[in-house]
């Protein structure tokens, strides 16, 4: 039997991390939802699914920096040479949120047109979508609408959390940054996405961003489970995700 090692000390989240910009945030609360905190304290979240995991897809134009962003967070490395992702890559990152083990399945998709067809077959069932653009390339920001539309064809827009992330912050001058940020915030607001600006090269905001993704998907995941379990009655027979009949008590 294989036993997972404990979650890394720098992946433990006990407070809701702050948003990047209050003008384009999924929420501006200071703390986790009260119901979520209580459930985690009582470890009630385990009643529905003990092993919590959320699927996150990362999309955006070619060479905007999707792979570098993931690699900076998961492996703390940066490669200045461009190696196109072919189809999709996958990383699993384990956290502990409010004392509960939680994993993010990060799907790094290809931005190149010729691989889009393969990559899009992995879009389904995402709890969060990270749409990436390059802060030094306005066209890549304009294309984010199309990436969103494609990702949403395979997902339920009412339950997916959206993040709009500008990369390569180290390369943009303050004047260039201010200009593109205005447009990005406007767009994030229209998409109902949370806006972030990061640099995989320097690491600026990378950890903060992924902690925010982990925290908000965890919170949404627990709230959905509480809602489901609350609407069930004792003795009720339900189907679980594997389509097995189970007795609810
Ligand atoms: N200066 C700087 N360069 C970056 C940053 N992030 C990525 N790059 C560079 O941009 C290029 C493309 O990065 P990738 O992460 O491979 O881009 P991608 O979005 O995964 O590209 P596809 O897999 O083709 O879709 C590489 O040469 C990286 O070194 C950053 O934050 N700063
Ligand atoms: Mg890539």
**In this structure, which residue's CA is closest to atom 26 in ligand 1?**
82
Question: Under CATH, which number does the domain 12-247 receive?
Answer: 3.40.50.300
Tens-digit pLDDT string for the chain (249 aa):
557 788 999 999 999 999 999 999 999 999 999 999 999 988 765 554 456 899 999 999 999 999 999 999 999 999 999 999 999 999 999 999 999 999 999 999 999 999 988 988 999 999 999 999 999 999 999 999 999 999 999 899 889 999 999 999 999 999 999 999 999 999 999 999 999 999 999 999 999 999 999 999 999 999 998 888 875 544 444 444 444 444 443
What pLDDT sits at residue 42?
A: 83
Distance CA 59, CA 215 (A): 20
| Angle between helical axes of 206-230 and 34-41 (0-180°, round to 10) | 80
Ligand 1 pocket residues where CB is under 6 Å = 62-68, 79-85, 110-112, 167-168, 170-171, 199-201
In the chain, % helix, strand, coil (3-state, to 5) comes to 40, 20, 40
What pLDDT sits at residue 229?
A: 80
pTM: predicted TM-score of the whole model, two decimal places: 0.91
Distance CA 117, CA 108 (A): 14
What pLDDT sits at residue 1?
A: 54
**In this structure, which residue's CA is closest to atom 28 in ligand 1?**
80
Domain residue extents for the chain = 12-247
What pLDDT sits at residue 47?
A: 54
Q: Which bound ligand lies closest to the C-alpha atom of 111?
A: 1
Give 154 Cα–ligand 1 centroid separation in angstroms: 26
Distance CA 163, CA 208 (A): 13
Handedness of CA 63, 64, 67, 69 (dihedral sign): positive
**In this structure, which residue's CA is closest to atom 14 in ligand 1?**
65
Residue from 63, 111, 150 whose mutation best tests the ligand 1 pocket (most atoms within 8 A of CB)? 63
Beta-carbon contacts of 203 under 8 Å, excluding residues fewer than 6 positions away, are 72, 76, 78
Distance CA 80, CA 199 (A): 12
13, 72, 104 from 16: Cα distances, Å: 8, 22, 16
Give 211 Cα–ligand 1 centroid separation in angstroms: 21
Question: How many CB atoms within 10 Å of residue 194?
Answer: 25
Residue from 67, 72, 88 whose mutation best tests the ligand 1 pocket (most atoms within 8 A of CB)? 67
Q: What is the value of ipTM here, to two decimals?
A: 0.99
Give 166 Cα–ligand 1 centroid separation in angstroms: 12
């Amino acid at each position: 039997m294989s036993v997972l090692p404990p979650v890394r000390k720098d992946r433990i989240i006990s407070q809701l991390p702050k948003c990047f910009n209050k003008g384009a945030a999924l929420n501006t609360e200071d703390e986790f939802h009260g119901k979520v905190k209580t459930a985690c304290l009582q470890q009630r979240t385990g009643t529905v699914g003990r092993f919590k995991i959320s699927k996150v897809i990362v999309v955006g134009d070619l060479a905007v920096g999707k792979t570098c962003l993931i690699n900076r967070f998961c492996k703390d490395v940066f490669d200045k040479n461009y190696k196109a992702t072919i189809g999709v890559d996958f990383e699993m990152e384990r956290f502990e949120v409010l004392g509960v083990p939680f994993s993010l399945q990060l799907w790094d998709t290809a931005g190149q047109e010729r691989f889009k067809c393969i990559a899009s077959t992995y879009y389904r069932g995402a709890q969060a979508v990270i749409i990436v653009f390059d802060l030094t390339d306005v066209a890549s920001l304009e294309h984010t609408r199309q990436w969103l539309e494609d990702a949403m064809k395979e997902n339920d827009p009412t339950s997916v959390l959206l993040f709009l992330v500008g990369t390569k912050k180290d390369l943009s001058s303050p004047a260039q940054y201010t200009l593109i940020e205005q447009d990005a915030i406007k767009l994030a607001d229209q998409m109902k996405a949370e806006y972030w600006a990061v640099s995989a090269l320097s690491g600026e905001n990378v950890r903060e961003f992924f902690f925010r993704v982990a925290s908000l998907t965890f919170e949404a995941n627990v709230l959905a489970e509480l809602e489901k379990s609350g609407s069930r009655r004792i003795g009720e027979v339900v189907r679980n995700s594997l389509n097995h009949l189970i007795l609810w008590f």
